[in-house]
Amino acid sequence: IKRERGRAYCVFSEHLRQELAVRSYVIAHIDEAVENGYIEIYYQPVVRTLTGNLAGMEALARWHDPVYGFLRPNQFIPVLEEERLIDKLDRYVIRECGRQLRRQMDAHQPIVPISFNVSRMDFQLMDVLSEIESVVRENGLPRDCLRIEITETAMVQDRNRILEMIDRFRGNGYPVWLDDFGSGYSSLNVLKDYHFDELKIDMEFLRVFNDTSRKIITSVVMMAKAIGIHTLAEGVETREQVEFLRSIGCEKLQGYYYGRPMPYDELVAHCRERHLC
């Protein structure tokens, strides 16, 4: 038993050691990663349920590191948030989204709106609205082609500040989406107090696709409709899920069924192949 315990301890501490190593690596190299373009933005398609056409795309950060190889967002986003460095990444993401939209316009392609993720911490570290405004101005973009995703957990602290921010975004013409709806503890309160344009139903509800979860999703969609908020289901992976979501009137869908997050050029080819656009 002693030996077994020793081994378990070793495995555990090895894992922990690696995690700590990644952590300090991320902290020390975020500037370099942004400057040298190790961070790449992948885009995941969002489709309209009724037509199956592309409705937009979500920008998701990928870190291809020359030393560490591929780093997953869950290896660097939480670290950057805790260390109050997340604005370094998100400023870059917003700029990249702006450049991407400009390239679409220059190529005379129809503009596909991009949504990006804003962390609670971002509101303390940067003026998110002026960052977006300057990107829009510099690239000559129409305003509603950039959409802001804020997670439910962000609403727990800084209530008034975030409430005010959301109103300012919307007042300036930028749609705001509530991300990961249902994953936190304050879902209904959040809907009561804040004004969102769209609600993204957390993918956990589709992971267990049974009678109960279907009833929950149906109620969420009905409730959102009743209070005038659009709905998007995340994590759609099967045809069965698509048909169910269509039958209950969920307006937009996102998930591996339609495509994983991928570089923009790949997304364009993918959408052509799959007749999404």
Residue among 180 and 251 whose Cβ is closer to ligand C2E? 180
Q: Does 56 bind ligand C2E (CB under 6 A)?
A: no
Within residues 64-103, the interface with ligand C2E by CB under 6 A covers 72-74, 77, 86, 89-90, 93
Q: Does 180 bind Ca ion (CB under 5 A)?
A: yes
Catalytic residue IDs: 234
Count of residues of this chain found to bind ligand C2E when the rule CB under 6 A is applied: 22
Q: Does 155 bind ligand C2E (CB under 6 A)?
A: no
- Would you give the DSSP letter of residue 59? E
Neighbours of 173 (CB within 10 A): 11
Q: Per-residue string for binding with ligand C2E, 169-188, x by CB under 6 A?
A: ----------xx--------
Residues 183 and 199 sit within 8 Å (Cβ to Cβ): no
Radius of gyration of the chain, Cα coordinates, nearest whole angstrom: 20
CA-wise closest residue to 264 among 149, 76, 111: 111
Q: What share of the chain is helix, strand, coil (3-state, %, to 5)?
A: 55, 20, 25
Residue among 25 and 258 whose Cβ is closer to ligand C2E? 258
At residue 67, what are phi and psi to the nearest 5 degrees? -95, -50
Report the partner that residue 197 touches, choosing among Ca ion, ligand C2E, none (CB closer than 5 to 8 A by kind): none
How far apart CA 150 and CA 93 sit, in angstroms, is 15
Interacting residues with ligand C2E (CB under 6 A): 44, 60-61, 72-74, 77, 86, 89-90, 93, 117, 119, 179-180, 203, 235-237, 255-256, 261
Interacting residues with Ca ion (CB under 5 A): 117, 149, 179-180, 234
